[in-house]
Amino acid sequence: MTSSTVLRVTPDAPERAPLERAAELLRAGQLVAFPTETVYGLGANALDPAAVARIYEAKGRPTYNPLIVHVPSLAAARRLVTAWPPEAEALARRWWPGPLTLVLPKVAAIPGAVTAGLRTVALRVPAHPVARALLEVTGLPLAAPSANRSGEVSPTTAAHVARSLGDRVPLILDAGPTTIGIESTVVDLSGDRPVLLRPGMVSRDDLAALIGPVERARSTAGDEARPSPGMLDRHYAPRARLVLYDRPDAPGVLGELAAARGKGMVAALYWKEGIPGADPAVALPSDPERYARALYAALHRMDELGAAVILVERPPAGIAWEGVRDRLGRAAQP
Ligand code: TXA
Ligand code: MG
């Protein structure tokens, strides 16, 4: 596997040369991986269907799963939608730039290739200075899902991107580890009532404070459900089998340890109580912000070490942990 070019960029004072190189590729319909404050994105010109098709191909992403479009400002977002309800105004004013994505009815200029044929588009104004500078230099809306092969744990460093995508992406802008650490909160504002499609570090309490209670989309298929396309997939999963535990002496945990003896490595990630006998056992922070920032790097690390099983202590209940619990719940699906 040949490798992509990795260019270092200073996170809070991005240099011109790597941005110009990235913009050149993006204008030519090529892909560029770049940092956002949540995770690294795999970017393409959102107005060019052929460029967007390259994203799906590089990720091995099912074509029914639509992409997020990144724009530099609230004004730029408004130009890409046909409706801008008061909820959008309130949320965007408070949280943009930031880790919040809004789903709204799209204008015709956004190709169906970006939205998987839907009449809505997911929009986000990222806060990362490199993402912002890239949007400014290119002057293009950038479609960008997380920069990993479909179904894998999202990348929070350039090395994670390179390991997952290899030469499928010609250029990676490397600005070091991301600060939020899990993907943005996604809220659908295109229907009668706001629906939380994907929890993240902008919590349901944060949303409720501005627009009232927001119901959570059911991720199970069913008549009453209106799930986000792609939400039914197993996602965010490491190569190792991930098992959640509540107590270190639970039968499931002891069974995993016994079954793995002599076969493969059993790792543990905990915030309160580790697992005697798991190796390595890695402590994660016990507050949700720092936990989210550290989680994906820890999962990537366990995979690199060749863990067969990763035992993960279930994070606390509470709204602030909802994003983290969602990702771990998906990763733990059989
Ligand atoms: O933090 C993030 O959101 C990162 C960074 C790179 O911005 N991006 C990201 O993209 O996580 P991706 O493609 O991995 O996740 C996009 C999510 C999917 O769950 C998709 O189903 C949903 O957004 N989505 C996109 N467009 C949608 C639409 N029109 N209607 C409903 N859901 C949509
Ligand atoms: Mg993703």
Q: pTM of the prediction?
A: 0.95
pLDDT at residue 223 in the model: 40
Tell which wins on pLDDT, 226 or 65. Answer: 65
CB atoms within 10 A of CB 80: 19
- Residue 76, H or E segment: helix 74-78
Closest listed residue to residue 102, CA positions, set 86, 275, 53, 41: 86
Looking at residue 255, its pLDDT comes to: 85
Could you report the per-residue pLDDT of 187-217, keeping only the tens digit for each? 999 999 999 999 999 999 999 999 999 999 8
Please determine, for residue 225, whether its predicted confidence score (pLDDT) is greater than 70: no
By the 8 A CB rule, do 101 and 188 touch?
no
Phi, psi of 270 (to 5 degrees): -135, 160
Among 39, 55, 101, 165, the mutation site with the greatest number of ligand 1 atoms within 8 A of its Cβ is 101
* Residue 75 clears pLDDT 60, i.e. is over it: yes
**Distance set, CA 108 to CA 44, 46, 181, 191 (Å):** 18, 12, 33, 19
Percentage of the residues of the chain whose pLDDT score is greater than 90: 84
Is any ligand 1 atom within 6 A of the Cβ of residue 33?
A: no
The closest of 29, 165, 28, 51 to 113, measured between CA atoms, is 51
Helices (H), 147-237: 158-165, 204-211
Distance in angstroms (rounded) separating the CA atoms of residues 36 and 131: 6
Give the model confidence (pLDDT) of 123-175 as tens digits: 999 999 999 999 999 999 999 999 999 999 999 999 999 999 999 999 999 99
The bound ligand whose nearest atom lies closest to the alpha carbon of 42 is: 1
Q: What are phi and psi of 256, to 5 degrees?
A: -60, -45
45 lines ligand 1 (CB under 6 A): no
Per-residue pLDDT of 310-332, as tens digits, reads: 999 999 999 999 999 999 999 99
CB of 163 closer than 8 Å to CB of 74:
no
What's the one-letter identity of residue 87? E
H or E stretch at 121: strand 120-124
Q: Would you state the pLDDT for residue 2? A: 62
Confidence of residue 221 (pLDDT cuts 50, 70, 90): very low
Q: Collapse the DSSP code of 57 into the 3-class scheme (helix H, G, I; strand E, B; otherwise coil) and give the result.
A: helix
Quick check: 91 and 175 in contact, CB under 8 A? no
pLDDT above 70 covers what percent of the chain?
Answer: 94
C-alpha to C-alpha distance for 210 and 88, rounded to whole angstroms: 10
| Pocket flag, ligand 1, residue 124 (CB < 6 Å) | yes
**Roughly what angle, to the nearest 10 degrees, separates helices 288-304 and 322-331?**
20
User: Rounded to the nearest whole angstrom, what is the distance from the C-alpha of residue 146 to the centroid of ligand 2?
Assistant: 4
pLDDT at 250: 85
118 lines ligand 1 (CB under 6 A): yes
Paired strand residues for 142: 45, 70
- What 3-state DSSP class applies to 270? strand
Spatial CB neighbours of 14, under 8 Å, sequence gap ≥ 6: 129, 130, 133, 134, 175
pLDDT at 271: 97
Residue 260: predicted pLDDT: 76
pLDDT at 222 > cutoff 50: no
Atom nearest to 61 CA in ligand 1: 13
Which residue's CA is the closest to the ligand 1 atom numbered 18? 230
